[in-house]
Structure 1
Amino acid sequence: MKAAVLVIDMLNDFVTGKLGNERVRSVIDPLQHLLERARASGVPVVYIGDAHLPSDPEMAVWGPHAMKGTKEAETIPELAPQPGDTVLEKRTYSAFYETGLDLLLRSLGVDTVVITGLHTNICCRHTAADAFTHGYKIIVPEDCVNAFTEEEHREGIAYLRRVYGARITTSEELAREWEREPQTAATKA
């Protein structure tokens, strides 16, 4: 059994840009720590972020944001990908939809995804739905995800637990498990 950490939409536009808000900054420190432990324990890290085209369906809902090739679509400097990490682009809410993520995870032997990033009730939720239908176990460190409001975040966490059987934990708990049992610890869903 093998886990991978998915870092979803930790982009300039969602932290300090057009769709940014102060709430999302709360995930940066815990996520930095979790990523350090993951890398040290041999757990693959995959960044999946919006890189929109003008014709993407989300433009009708949110307006232009995180447009492909712009600074706004780049990962925030505090969480910049490191050598050995994988970076994928997405154009819809799910990190799985037409990104090659499933093929990548299967090639790495991954059977469990650790979902982190933004937003608990939107992109994390849609990613969890596709992870579930593809047969992956799901772990969500609650301090490494957030939403526009506390209510949306809480509803998102409850939905992930109830509908997909996600194991809700913390970054500290996962880090301790990875220290004790590198590479397979996160699969105790």
Structure 2
Amino acid sequence: MKSAVLVIDMTNDFLTGALKNDRALKTIQPISDLLTKARAQGTPVVYVSDEHYKEDHELKIWGDHSMKGTWGGQITDELAPKSGDYSFEKRTYSAFFETGLDTLLRELNVDNVILTGVVTNICIQHSAADACLRGYEITVPKETTEALSDEDYDYALNYIKTMYGAKIVSVDEAL
């Protein structure tokens, strides 16, 4: 099985900006550790982050966040992409919707996606759904994702496991 690590929405606005989530801050180090291990093993690292335009429908729900070309839309410095990593912009919850991600993963012969980032019950869950429907295996290292509440976090991980057959593992077990 060939894996790729997906880093979803680890932008300034989701961590300390417009949609600040103190709970998400604790995911930075585990994600960093996983990325170091992935890169050392030659596992592809793919960033997929909100980069919204003012017309995007999602802004009616959540307000302005991760706007294209702004500080808030940039990936946090602690997890900045490295040479050889891949990056895609998204304008909806799913990392797969109209981003080119699926095409890249197929070109890389990836059959397992390791989902990291925020928010567990929104973008991670929708990305897991689209990954499953495209035939990918799904792994979620539990320390690398976070929601706005314990209830949302637990519900989403259980849903992803039950509905999409995801493996919920520790960072050490992910690769």
* TM-score, normalising length: structure 2: 0.98
The correspondence of residues 118-133 of structure 1 with structure 2, limited to 5 A, is 118-133=118-133
CA deviation map 1:45-69 (0-9, x unaligned): 0000000011111011001110011
How many residue pairs were aligned? 175
The correspondence of residues 49-128 of structure 1 with structure 2, limited to 5 A, is 49-128=49-128
Task: For 2:57 and 2:130, locate their aligned partners in 1 and report how far apart those are by CA, in whole Å.
Answer: 18
Paired AA for residue 173 in structure 2: E
Alpha-carbon distance, 1:124 to partner = 0.2
2:139 is the counterpart of 1:139: yes
Alpha-carbon distance, 1:95 to partner = 0.2
Alpha-carbon distance, 1:150 to partner = 1.2
The correspondence of residues 168-187 of structure 1 with structure 2, limited to 5 A, is 168-174=168-174, 178=175
Task: For 1:21 and 1:31, locate their aligned partners in 2 and report how far apart those are by CA, in whole Å.
Answer: 16
Paired AA for residue 102 in structure 1: D
- RMSD across aligned positions (CA): 0.7
> Which residue in the other structure is 2:46 paired with?
46
- Structure 1 alignment gaps of length 5 or more: 179-189
> Which residue in the other structure is 1:183 paired with?
none
> Which residue in the other structure is 1:152 paired with?
152
Secondary structure, counterpart of 1:97 in structure 2: coil
CA deviation map 1:100-144 (0-9, x unaligned): 000000000001100000011000000000000000000000000
Task: For 1:19 and 1:27, locate their aligned partners in 2 and report how far apart those are by CA, in whole Å.
Answer: 16
After TM superposition, the runs of 4+ consecutive aligned structure 1 residues lying more than 6 A away are none
Secondary structure, counterpart of 1:4 in structure 2: strand
Secondary structure, counterpart of 1:37 in structure 2: helix
User: Percent identical across equivalent pairs?
Assistant: 51
